[in-house]
Chain A
Amino acid sequence: MRSRPQVLIVEDEPDVLLILRLNLEAAGMDTSLAADGVTALRRIERERPDLVVLDLMLPVLDGWSVLAELCSRGDVPPVIVCSAKRAPRDVARAEELGAVAFVTKPFDVSVLVGTITDVLVGSGWHPEVELGPTPVPLDLEGLEGLEPA
């Protein structure tokens, strides 16, 4: 496990991407961004992130298809689903497809960051960073996928 684990955030809402990047970077993680399912799969293949935060309603290829593809591949990073969908059948389906956690929108930032941290710690990460003001630049640099609306 790297000292700063790599988290891929897959989300098509630019403001949510910004906020998640800011909070995760402040919590000692590196982030990469994808705005659609196809880009997400490509980045997972290419960059082997330590964890994926995945929205379900995505353009081009939706989150369900991404989960199904990862499920069929095997040896993939843990996936935390973060979606406005909240029906029990959606949660069950995500778990069946290998998601390790399901966070519903609107999410509590602390809960989401805590869930991500727990999963990474479970994978062998030792967080050293204290929460506080962060020098992380607040932009979408490195975002791949569709242009945000």
Chain B
Amino acid sequence: MSYESSEGNERIRREARVVGLRTFSTPSLEAVERRRMQLWVLSALLLISVAVAVALLSLWPVAQRSNNWLLSPRVLRLSIVCLAVAFSAYAIEKEMHLGKLARMLMDERVLTAALTNRLREVSLLLEAGKAINAVLEASLVLDTILRSAVELLGGTSGSVMLIDGDELVTACAQGNASAEGRRIKLGQGIAGRVAVTREALLIDGRADPEEFPGLVERADSPDSALSVPLVSRDQVLGVLNVNAVPGRVFTEYELRALNLFAEQAAVAVMNSRLFEAERAHVSELLELDRMKSDFVALVSHELRTPITSIIAAAATQRRLGIEPHQEEMAQIIERQASRLHAMVEDLLSQARLENEGSLPSAQPVDVAALARLSARDFAVSGRIVEVDGPERLVTLGDPEAVRRVIDNLVENAHKYGAPPIRLEIEEVDHQVRISVLDAGPGIPEADRERVFERFHRLGHSRDPGLGLGLSIVRGLVRASGGEIRLEEAPGGGTAVRVMLPIYDEDREAIG
């Protein structure tokens, strides 16, 4: 390009020297036109002068009377005509060069204008590229892409549509309120086709609904529009649409420019998605880190409480002698050691469920029998549970896990609810349903999901325990192929419903 340009300049300078425009290092078209005019005026004046001279000579008496042949009218006329012919030849030659120079300068001007245009577009593309890469937040990226594209092409409105399943959804619109929130099926309308074919489209004139099935008819349809796919890593992310101002028609050149821009835009969209994913991941890690810190603080405090009692009870026995409180101190040690053991078991169960997610054994378990057994054991410590269920109802699972689920839910009902505590076992929708109902204050709907989170503790924070109970219960239920949820019990209070897969003994026996 630079070589061609300098060669062109040299040719222009050469022609300029020939036509006497030496003073102009790069002559302007106007200077050439002025020189051409001067030449024409000079030529016209000269020819008029020659004509006048020839005419006067014919009438000049001295010449007619002269004996000198050099002054004879014939010789003089011939001389004048020769001079006129020579000057005309000179003028024609200069005119040819000036014409050539003018054409060259005209070409140069056209080329310069094209280059300037191209440079402006490249610079706009560069600026737009910088702008869309300067932001990472998805919504900002889309806004910047659309604004830059509309500005780049001098459009009036536009939209960015992103793929969501088998649809395109308007993620961002400018100057076209009706486009906001619009959803179209892939393959339908202009954008739908662009997303499927990955071919950029230039619409010249109003789009034909027959050519684009599913096209949304608009009263303000643009005279011309561009629609290009946003493709990154061979994956279509969406479509960028730009509409022309009324009366203007986009060119193939502009379609190519928008396509180039769309390549950068797609990368920016992809980057913003990666950024969002990364940000979510970081916040998840931070939350996990916070939970771990909370967990360490909670565990160390909760474990220290029974340890304090055990150590102090043992030390008291030693300090004060065996009698008279040996039995009481032994009971404290036993009670607090059991509490410590339960906490350690909870921690281990939670860790096992998180690591393995499944239960060791799966065998037919009579849930109704387990419920009655659990109620009997609670009754020993004076905690009454009313059981309502069939003689036998069987699930396929781990008997220890099912027993633990029932015990934990009944324990919670006693601890945080109010009697009467009811344990219902029934078959619902060909599943085993275990319900534990209490008549306590209930749990607000907003908190019902949170109680299953690890380390969430019901009631006061002074309640002993690690807040793992319901988290473990849900883990056990899910590992057994079931589901658990909290509801409001009929007549108030909390109802915990556990659904477990039913085990059809008759069918299995036949099978």
Asked whether A and B interact, the reply is yes
Indicate if the CB atoms of B315 and A108 lie closer than 8 Å: yes
Nearest CB in chain A: distance from B97 CB, A: 95
Q: Which of A18, A22, A59, A135 contacts B460 (CB 8 A)?
A: A59
Q: Which of B320, B321, B328, B462 contacts A58 (CB 8 A)?
A: B462
Complexed CA–CA distance, A106 and B305 (Å): 7
Indicate if the CB atoms of B328 and A106 lie closer than 8 Å: no
Q: Which B residues touch A149, using CB under 8 A?
A: 462-464
Indicate if the CB atoms of A13 and B309 lie closer than 8 Å: yes
Is A12 located at the chain interface by the 8 A CB criterion? yes
Is A122 located at the chain interface by the 8 A CB criterion? no
Indicate if the CB atoms of B308 and A107 lie closer than 8 Å: yes
Q: Which B residues touch A133, using CB under 8 A?
A: 320-321, 323-324
Q: Which B residues touch A85, using CB under 8 A?
A: 301
Indicate if the CB atoms of B462 and A59 lie closer than 8 Å: yes
Beyond A59-B460, A84-B301, whether A16 also contacts B319 by CB under 8 A is: no
Indicate if the CB atoms of B320 and A131 lie closer than 8 Å: yes
Indicate if the CB atoms of B316 and A22 lie closer than 8 Å: yes
Nearest CB in chain B: distance from A121 CB, A: 19
Beyond A107-B308, A149-B462, whether A18 also contacts B328 by CB under 8 A is: yes
Complexed CA–CA distance, A110 and B312 (Å): 9
Name A1-33 residues within 8 Å CB distance of B.
12-13, 15-16, 18-20, 22-23, 26
Complexed CA–CA distance, A85 and B301 (Å): 8
Indicate if the CB atoms of B321 and A106 lie closer than 8 Å: no
Q: Which A residues touch B311, using CB under 8 A?
A: 106-108
Nearest CB in chain A: distance from B182 CB, A: 56
Least CB separation from B321: chain A residue: A133
Is A42 located at the chain interface by the 8 A CB criterion? no
| Contact string against A for B residues 456-471, beta-carbon threshold 8 Å, 1 for contact and 0 otherwise | 0000111110000000
- Give the total of A residues in contact with B, Cβ under 8 Å: 28
Nearest CB in chain A: distance from B270 CB, A: 46
Complexed CA–CA distance, A42 and B310 (Å): 30
| Contact string against B for A residues 57-97, beta-carbon threshold 8 Å, 1 for contact and 0 otherwise | 11100000000000000000000000011000000000000
Least CB separation from A84: chain B residue: B304
Indicate if the CB atoms of A15 and B313 lie closer than 8 Å: yes
Name B423-473 residues within 8 Å CB distance of A.
460-464
Q: Which B residues touch A110, using CB under 8 A?
A: 315, 319
Q: Which of A19, A132, A135 contacts B313 (CB 8 A)?
A: A19
Beyond A18-B332, A19-B312, whether A105 also contacts B304 by CB under 8 A is: yes
Least CB separation from B311: chain A residue: A106
Is B290 located at the chain interface by the 8 A CB criterion? no
Indicate if the CB atoms of B312 and A109 lie closer than 8 Å: yes
Is B307 located at the chain interface by the 8 A CB criterion? yes
Complexed CA–CA distance, A134 and B328 (Å): 14
Nearest CB in chain B: distance from A130 CB, A: 11
Indicate if the CB atoms of A19 and B320 lie closer than 8 Å: no
Q: Which A residues touch B460, using CB under 8 A?
A: 59
Indicate if the CB atoms of B325 and A22 lie closer than 8 Å: yes
Complexed CA–CA distance, A107 and B315 (Å): 10
Complexed CA–CA distance, A105 and B306 (Å): 10
Indicate if the CB atoms of A15 and B335 lie closer than 8 Å: yes
Is B336 located at the chain interface by the 8 A CB criterion? yes
Q: Which B residues touch A16, using CB under 8 A?
A: 308-309, 312
Q: Which B residues touch A106, using CB under 8 A?
A: 304, 307-308, 310-312
User: B residues within 8 Å of A by Cβ?
Assistant: 300-301, 304-305, 307-313, 315-316, 319-321, 323-325, 328-329, 332, 335-336, 460-464
Additional A-B contact list (16), CB under 8 Å, known A19-B329, A105-B304, A134-B324: A15-B309, A15-B313, A19-B316, A23-B319, A58-B462, A84-B301, A105-B305, A106-B307, A106-B310, A106-B311, A108-B315, A110-B319, A133-B320, A134-B320, A149-B463, A149-B464
A-B contact pairs, 11 of them (CB 8 A): A15-B309, A15-B313, A15-B335, A19-B332, A84-B304, A107-B308, A109-B315, A109-B316, A132-B321, A138-B328, A149-B463
